[in-house]
Structure 1
Amino acid sequence: MPSTRFDVAIVGGGLVGASLAIALDRIGRSVALVEAAPAGAPPAVFDERNLSFAEATVHGLRALGVLQHLRAPAGAIRRIHVSRVGDFGRVVLDAAEHGRETFGQVVVARDFGLALEARLNECTHVTRFRPMRFEGTSMGEGVRVLHLRDGDGNASEIEAQLLVGADGTRSGVREALHIGAEEHDFQQTLFVARVRAEQAPDGTAYERFGPNGPTALLPRGDGHFGVVHGVPREEADVVAALNEAAWLERLQSAFGWRVGRLLSSGARSAYPIVQVVAKALIAQRAVIVGNAAQTLHPIGAQGFNLGLRDALTLAELIEAGGDPGDAGLLAEHARRRADDRERTLEFSGGLARLTANEGEATRPLRSLGFGAVQHLPALRAQLVGGALGYRGDVPRLCRGEA
């Protein structure tokens, strides 16, 4: 079977991979999008999880024409309220105090997936290969050769000047490129659901830390809260088996009464939390982005925001023209992503470890830290910048410069 040649081949049609394909279509580059899910069947990542889009992410997705396709209303994040069980103090960030209407938006992953699909259907430079499994890669003359297999077991090949791995935490592309990864298992499972409370969302995103992990309530656009509740891994099966009343009682105990009584809950989904950080971002004519490059603890809702900045930085460099797999271009991509990536990893992983530590010695330090952030403008500015998605070298579209 003759090979088909593209400028860029993206393996993985999830949140980041689809966004990158749209960004490259926007600048006229030919793209092969290799997807495991068949047409009409959304990827598993398009589920009931609640995605917190920072302001920078909102700018980027609006410039790509994706947010315009959302059918369900997004929830505005106007305030961020952070506290921990047993500690004095709290941190409250208000967007209005920093000259903004919101810090960002809450969007349900399923709704976002439908918007991405609608936008992909408008693309004229994207060829979708689905259902298709990536089985490996080899080098050709000035190209990467992708070895693929379809749902019927038929093998095929395509060629691209640049291979992009956007295929998630257990990335087959990362493995094929022989890029190692460091892992840290937090021994936690996060449960995600939709809940209704006595008080409707007012734009406040709550994050309440406890010894077993975080409990977050995020303001959805449908009048419900998106809840994220962390439990020790060994308790996950027990929590999954709770009836609705017992589940709500557990949430109420972990979170408190800031939104009144929790009245009802939708179905729960569970996700084991393991941080996976690739030891390199680039290889010969190849790059990894999103969860393939770094899978974070979801504390602080940094994962997709960081992955989109990966994708839009790469698209910005490719937009300048020339060979998208050029070694100098890829080195510049890795350089530009280094600071944002390192600082976000430090924030996410460090916060997860600190807030879960029950040691008596750390409790007064945390309380002092809450007080310092609340009253020291420089510290608050750092937190606000991170919440808005402005860390390191931010791509132009994320700055609102379409």
Structure 2
Amino acid sequence: MTRKQQVEPYDVLIAGGGLVGASLGGALAQAGLRCCVLEAVPFAAADQPSFDERTIALTWGSRLIFAGLGVWPQIIATDAEPIRSIHISRRGGFGICRLDCTGMGVDALGYVVPTRVLGRVLLDRLQQALGVDYYCPARVEAVQPAVDRVTVQVKTEQGSLQLRGDLLVVAEGGRSSLREQLGYKVYARPYEAEVLLTTVSTGQSHNGRAFERFTEHGPLALLPMRENRYSVVWTLPAARVDHLRACDDAQFLAQIQADFGYRAGIFTAPGIRLRYPLARSRVEPLAQQRSVLLGNAAHLLHPVAGQGFNLGLRDVAHLAEVLATAHQHGEDLGSDRVLQKYTALRRDDIRRVQGFTHGLMTAFTQQWPGLSLARQIGLLLVDSLPLVQRRLLQHTMGLAGPRSQLSLGLPLARPTGENE
């Protein structure tokens, strides 16, 4: 669909209308900026990469951002399931770690939400917002940065058109073609593993408890869903993913039960089994020539600890605040000064989270001498030291480092005299 109500040039052009791009469009509209969202694949299409059968574990910090955007009531009213505690262990080891929301004084450590449900809420808000044009399907075929604006050539069902704006935001995901056109340097390294995604049921109540089980093949996460189902995020070598996808349901259930054990109960009713490749990447710089990269276009992480989308949503919150402030002061939104301010805010958080997820994966999968004992002792120490737990949870819940206005649960202010 196409929804056009604005006159060019735009304040911001957003290439990519997935979870990150749609969130940014809603945030900029809240701040009174004129923006255009360009998405290549319709919401209901089978090949839509952002809104498929996956689930996302939203941190408490992401809940606050969505509250600031005014969409949290709609999200929690759908299929969102709270994560109240997390049980961490390693198969064959004696150490365990238990994290609980009560130690942080909150109702939940996070929430598990199907991507289709979250996407529907964000797109509904985007299509209702004033100041936002939405083109879908629409693909950016060429981009031309200039001294005072950026111009993109867009292919739509109605033909080609040119759009102009002060700034181009690239939120196309980890395989962004625009990122290459704009000359960004990408440092990428694939993991020698893939992630297998599915769902299972059990015969007992999960009580909002999630599990992170480290096995010799890779981490196995169970995330609580409605009706006592779990979302399964299982990192495995590609050959083992091939095997598990070829198994019948009974064989698959026997395999996951053997690797996980019976702490969550007896697994039944497996869902469709999906696979995704894994890689980590970073980009230098995050912004240049009237463009900025957000979400997976800027950084890819290992899925352990469920940090990927939450990191991208913090990108959204900080960029929206930087642009809203610049707009209120009459600054050029695509200027080096504005983009450098955003980059300075995000650089440390991105590096810290990438280092944490990669380090966690390495620590629990490598078989170096003495590492097994160190893992068990480390889990026991975290389990027994409340201050260490609190520090760890501050980071994994998205509550560490510089906080944006949205990350405090507060809406972005519109310029005086403007009404939505």
Question: Structure 2 length as normaliser, TM-score?
Answer: 0.91
1:266-305 Cα offsets, whole Å, 9 max, x none, are 1111111111211220102110010000011110000010
Q: Which one-letter code corresponds to 1:7 in the other structure?
A: D
- Aligned mates of 2:281, 2:353 — CA distance in 1: 13
Pick from 101, 116, 126: which aligns with 2:122?
116
Using the TM superposition, give the Cα deviation of residue 130 of structure 1 relative to its aligned residue in structure 2, in angstroms: 1.7
Pick from 51, 59, 67: which aligns with 1:62?
67
For 1:243, the equivalent position in structure 2 comes to 248
For 1:211, the equivalent position in structure 2 comes to 216
Would you say 1:150 and 2:159 are equivalent positions?
no
Using the TM superposition, give the Cα deviation of residue 39 of structure 1 relative to its aligned residue in structure 2, in angstroms: 6.5
- Aligned mates of 2:314, 2:368 — CA distance in 1: 36
Using the TM superposition, give the Cα deviation of residue 352 of structure 1 relative to its aligned residue in structure 2, in angstroms: 1.1
Helix, strand or coil at the partner of 1:119:
helix
Pick from 83, 86, 89: which aligns with 1:80?
86
Return 10-19 or 320-329, whichever deviates more: 320-329
- Aligned mates of 1:370, 1:132 — CA distance in 2: 48
Contact 1:32-1:127 within 8 A present in 2 as well: yes
Pick from 95, 102, 106: which aligns with 1:100?
106
1:41-70 Cα offsets, whole Å, 9 max, x none, are 483221121211111100111221223333
Pick from 355, 369, 373: which aligns with 2:378?
369
Q: Kindly report which structure 2 residues correspond to 1:209-358, keeping only aligned pairs within 5 A, or say none.
A: 209-320=214-325, 321=327, 322=330, 323-358=332-367
Q: Kindly report which structure 2 residues correspond to 1:125-136, keeping only aligned pairs within 5 A, or say none.
A: 125-136=131-142
For 2:41, the equivalent position in structure 1 comes to 37
What stretches of structure 1 of length at least 5 have no aligned partner?
none
Q: Which one-letter code corresponds to 2:241 in the other structure?
A: A
Contact 1:15-1:113 within 8 A present in 2 as well: yes
Q: Which one-letter code corresponds to 2:360 in the other structure?
A: L
For 1:15, the equivalent position in structure 2 comes to 19
For 1:384, the equivalent position in structure 2 comes to 393
- Aligned mates of 2:382, 2:138 — CA distance in 1: 48
- Aligned mates of 2:308, 2:269 — CA distance in 1: 28
Helix, strand or coil at the partner of 1:337:
helix
Helix, strand or coil at the partner of 1:175:
helix
Contact 2:190-2:279 within 8 A present in 1 as well: yes
Q: Which one-letter code corresponds to 2:40 in the other structure?
A: A
Return 89-98 or 7-16, whichever deviates more: 89-98
- Aligned mates of 1:225, 1:36 — CA distance in 2: 31
Question: Structure 1 length as normaliser, TM-score?
Answer: 0.95
Q: Which one-letter code corresponds to 1:386 in the other structure?
A: H
Return 335-344 or 380-389, whichever deviates more: 380-389
Return 243-252 or 62-71, whichever deviates more: 62-71
1:14-46 Cα offsets, whole Å, 9 max, x none, are 110100000001111111101001365483221
Using the TM superposition, give the Cα deviation of residue 141 of structure 1 relative to its aligned residue in structure 2, in angstroms: 4.6
Contact 2:311-2:350 within 8 A present in 1 as well: yes
1:156-193 Cα offsets, whole Å, 9 max, x none, are 21111000000000112211121111112111111111
What stretches of structure 2 of length at least 5 have no aligned partner?
1-6, 412-420
- Aligned mates of 1:151, 1:275 — CA distance in 2: 34
1:210-247 Cα offsets, whole Å, 9 max, x none, are 12211111111343111111210122222211111111
Contact 1:69-1:119 within 8 A present in 2 as well: no
- Aligned mates of 1:332, 1:4 — CA distance in 2: 26
- Aligned mates of 1:192, 1:211 — CA distance in 2: 18
For 1:191, the equivalent position in structure 2 comes to 196
Return 41-50 or 304-313, whichever deviates more: 41-50
Return 294-303 or 269-278, whichever deviates more: 269-278
Return 231-240 or 371-380, whichever deviates more: 371-380
- Aligned mates of 1:260, 1:360 — CA distance in 2: 33
Contact 2:79-2:114 within 8 A present in 1 as well: no
- Aligned mates of 1:356, 1:224 — CA distance in 2: 27
- Aligned mates of 1:25, 1:67 — CA distance in 2: 17
- Aligned mates of 2:296, 2:210 — CA distance in 1: 24
Helix, strand or coil at the partner of 1:287:
strand
